[in-house]
Amino acid sequence: MSEHAMLDRIQTPADLKKLSAAEIKTLCAEIRDTLIETVSCNGGHLSSNLGVVELTVALHLIFDAPRDQIVWDVGHQCYVHKLLTGRAEQFHTLRTEGGVSGFPRPAESEYDTFIVGHSSTAVSAANGLAKAKKLTGDKGYVIAVMGDGAMTGGIAYEGLSNAGRSEDRLIVILNDNRMSINRNVGFVARHLAILRSRPRYVRVKNGFGAFVSHIPLVGKPLYSLLLEIKTKLKNALYKNSPIFEDMGFYYLGPVNGHSLSDLTRALRAAKNIERPVLLHVETVKGKGYGFAEQSPDTYHGVSGFDRETGETPSGGDSFSSVFGDTLCQLASEDRHICAITAAMQNGTGLGSFARRFPDRFFDVGIAEQHAVTFASGLSCNGMLPVFAVYSTFLQRSYDQILNDTAILGQHIVLAIDRAGIVPDDGETHQGIFDVSFLHTIPGVALYAPACYDELRIHLKQALYDEKGIAAVRYPRGGEGMVPQGYVTDYKPYTLFRAQGANLLLITYGRIFFNALAAVQKLACEGIRISILKLNRVLPLEEDSLRLAMEYSGVVFMEEGSRAGGMGEMLGSRLMESAYRGRYWSYAIEEFVPVCKTDAGLRREGLDAHGMEEAIRRALEDLSGQKEELWRATGSV
């Protein structure tokens, strides 16, 4: 007999509606067990999903997906939704190549309405979805589920401001796990919340308002007076509702997010209100797994753990930890250095900095745009700000990098974590576009360390050797196998010249070691290839361009987007310089799906074998070109 007999019965949300209250309670327990078992093996987001078990079940009990559309924000709290929408049998493949994605993915299921990997966007998307339904005569509902952490992102307020005025069938659920939103006051507030969420209350309230307004002479003034008294009383009891009601939402809550009866009652009431509703739901992050309840941040995003002991892998050094340790050392010597993060203190290795230098550490929440402009302000008054941010999230602050920093000539450092292919999280989290968009901004210096020692060197250079925006990009995880005797270099580039080589391989970052392995293997066959390693990728050194022109062929390899990348830039510069040789550029030309790092590099031809094959093809092309030239002229 299956350990999850109840969950095995759920193929679609329609099956959920056939269960009794006792069976649904059993189902919730089975869901939690499945979450803990799967995430302990595969890694992923545990605390947030344990906190929304009852909420997700209630949503699928009251609404009719996929006609009624659910948008999850950030998207990492969608695991329960996936279990209830036909993916329970494949759930063990979560976050593996070809398996169930860790984020909503419309290509995976019709129940996944919108792809969501970056925070605070759900209300804007839901606003558009609901408006389209109204315009096409679709009577379905749209529900946006957002965590209170998403409320630190500015686009959340842009979405709320517009959605509240829409008069559409839109319900925003604020999942408050007491991490960001103030708690409400006492028994009276909770009791009134239950009363306000009853469908009968909603009908009576609307009817009473219409009745009073139509009383001759005194109706409208009386209704305005009663409304004012009610608003003042409500504002005293509810700390959070006024801002939402000022935006046009009908506020419901707070509701116990682990009580199915309270949740279903409130959701039914929300359906009966013919305008946008904000339902405030209180949940416990990590609910049902003691270790996660005690340390919700630890189990928010975790790379597997022992479910019996709760122990997580120690991991050892990583680029993130080396960055954090190096910044701490530099900050102990220079009181001007400040560190900024956008809700990624531990992920970016800034935990020690936050403890040692609390006055110079700033977590701005999920507000990357603010972080850059804030850093520029710090710089303007003499500080040395370092903004540590994942590559994929830095994309959100392009305008601030350009307009609020570069044009002013302010000196800030961007520590770009998770650059290149990022394992497990898929398309929305790949760090492959930072080089492409940074190189469009005049005056940006960009370093790309291949190992820890280079990261230490480049971070110091970015702080003290550059004047404007200086960025250091590095990958997730460790440095891999660094060859014995490898010497780091302070120069913008390093040339590994092979005597007699007529082909030059140019690259940067961690894949340099793949290039080195490929060239060494070819050398064993007597094939000699030179390598030009870019340490400072931007600005491109004129000397490196001159060196490239000495070779009959140049192959450029980069772990980033081909469009707008360094390979494209170098090719253009070579053409402008009347380069007469052959040029090949290899980079990434797609949205990279969920994969492990090694598999992703192999997929894109950026592993040692892929580089070796690319070099062989280039040499064949050069050989063929010489043969054609001999036939045409009688000599080479």
Q: Which are the catalytic amino acids? A: 285, 368, 396
Residue 145 has a CB neighbour count (10 Å cut-off) of: 26
* H or E element that contains 36: helix 21-42
d(CA 265, CA 528): 74
Work out whether strand 530-534 and strand 493-496 pair parallel, antiparallel, or are unpaired: antiparallel
The residues near 253 (Cβ < 8 Å, ≥ 6 apart) are 174, 193, 197, 241, 266, 278, 279, 280, 281, 282
- Strand order of the β-sheet with 337-341 is 361-363, 337-341, 384-390, 413-417, 470-473, 445-447, 536-538
Cα separations (Å) of 90 from 54, 86, 595?
21, 9, 16
Q: What is the DSSP string of 355-370?
A: HH-GGGEEE--S-HHH
d(CA 552, CA 221): 87
Residue 220 tokens, joined: 């409208």
Q: What is the DSSP letter of 387?
A: E
Distance from CA of residue 412 to its chain's centroid? Answer: 22
Treating both helix axes as pointing N-terminal to C-terminal, what angle do 21-42 and 53-62 enclose, rounded to 10 degrees?
Answer: 130
The runs of H, that is alpha helices, within 286-420 are: 290-294, 319-333, 351-356, 368-380, 391-394, 398-401
Among candidate residues 366, 176, 187, 208, the one with its CA nearest the CA of residue 278: 176
Distance from CA of residue 131 to its chain's centroid? Answer: 27
Largest CA distance in the chain: 107
308 has which bridge partners?
none
3-class SS of residue 436: helix
* Tokens 């000539």 belong to residue: 409
Q: Which residues of 543-577 are buried (b: 16+ CB within 10 A; e: fewer)?
A: ebeebbeebbbbbbbbbbbbebbbbbbbbebbeee
Residue 405 tokens, joined: 């920093």
Cα separations (Å) of 406 from 162, 398, 458, 462, 474?
31, 11, 20, 15, 22
d(CA 40, CA 86): 22
d(CA 513, CA 482): 7
Residue 245 tokens, joined: 């009601």
Work out whether strand 445-447 and strand 384-390 pair parallel, antiparallel, or are unpaired: unpaired
**Cα torsion at 34, 37, 43, 47 (round to 10°)?**
60
d(CA 577, CA 286): 60
Burial label for 158, CB within 10 Å (0-12, 13-18, 19+), is: middle
Among candidate residues 467, 58, 46, 451, the one with its CA nearest the CA of residue 265: 58
